Structure 1
Amino acid sequence: MTEQTADAVVRRTVTVAAPVARAYDVFTSGMASWWPKDTHHVGPTPAEAVIEPFVDGRCYARAHDGTETDWGRVLAWEPPSRLVFAWLLTPQWGFEPDPALASEVEVRFTATGEDSTEVVLTHSGFERYAEGGETMRAQVDGAGGWGALLDLYVSALR
């Protein structure tokens, strides 16, 4: 582990034209409306991204053939203000069943007006990986990472 990995977080902030409850709902129960169906999955594609709406709920991809592939576990479910999930993927994009060995994604939703919400996504914990934490951080921070995914989320709210 390098010092850079231990201190590294990926943070993205977007403001959406939606009330906070709708912003939370589209991010969570509506994830299939914006998460790419043909990419960003570890199982068969095309697939829909699903988050079960409770603590210890699964985050998984459901493929067109019914195959379900886990990629996360809900750690905090606090509608409409906060969601935290363990990112149960290794830097090699394999499944890591132990949340203590995985990175973590927190998403906060704060009303900035009647029909406006600030969404702050923070992906941290890259130092938990025995190897490849900096690689994982760079991938989720780079082109096609959280920035691109949040652009799709914003578009789904229009």
Structure 2
Amino acid sequence: MTVQIKPAPIRRAVTVKASQERAFRIFTSDIGRWWPSTHHIGAAPYKANVLEPRQGGRWYEIGEDGSEADWGHVLAWEPPSRLLLAWQLDAQHRFDPTLVTEVEVLFTPQDDGRTRVELEHRLLERYGEDAQKVADSVGSPNGWGRVLELFADAANA
């Protein structure tokens, strides 16, 4: 008998010293500038991460040799308040077009001019037997926590 593992969604948040519009732009258009180079899947050394600015757009990385490695695609593009991405990396961090988990990022303006950025990575149960392993990885301090820390550094600069 196989037990279905359903880990809780991974949730992380930061508040940055940037307007809602600027925070959204830095997270999306400038993602290649702040995304951690250690978090890449391509065979070539990492150069940049790209989000195409539209629903249905690609999410991919570019290697130093110009090669591209798909990560997923944009499910919802609602500037400056919401971004919904399809994360299509398997438990070994390889692109799998048949696997879709979701990464939702909300940008909420605060009264003091800052913006709260909340990230949720959900549907991790779609990893089956690897669900808890993936949840532990993306939920670790080196996972989404590190990604948001680097984003906050860029947004606060």
Structure 2: unaligned runs, 5 residues or longer: none
Q: Distance in 2 between matches of 1:2 and 1:108?
A: 33
Query: Which residue among 123, 126, 151 is the counterpart of 1:125?
Result: 123
Task: Identify which of 134, 154, 157 aligns with 1:156.
Answer: 154
Q: Which residue of 2 aligns with 1:108?
A: 106
Moved beyond 2 Å, runs of 4+: none
Show the counterpart of 1:26. 26
Residues 7 and 132 in structure 2, CA contact (< 8 A), matched pair in contact too:
no
- Give the drift of 1:131: 2.8
Over the residues paired in the alignment, what is the CA RMSD in angstroms? 1.4
Residue 51 of structure 2 is aligned to residue 51 of structure 1: yes
| Aligned residue number for residue 61 of structure 1 | 61
CA contact (8 A) 1:19 1:114 kept: no
Residues 28, 124 of structure 1: alpha-carbon distance in 2 compared, 3 angstrom cutoff: same
Q: CA deviation at 1:52?
A: 0.4
State how many pairs are aligned: 154
Identity across the alignment (%): 45
Q: What are the superposed Cα offsets for residues 59-92 of structure 1, whole Å, 9 maximum, x if unpaired?
A: 0001111101001110000000000011110011
Mapped to 1, the partners of 2:7 and 2:68 lie a distance apart of 33
Shift of 1:133: 1.2
Say whether the 8 Å CA contact 1:90–1:102 is kept in structure 2.
no
Residue of structure 2 equivalent to 1:72: 72
**Corresponding position of 2:39:** 40
- 1:32–1:48 CA contact under 8 A, matched in 2: yes
Contact 2:101–2:126 under 8 Å retained in 1: yes
- Structure 1 residue runs without a partner (length 5+): none
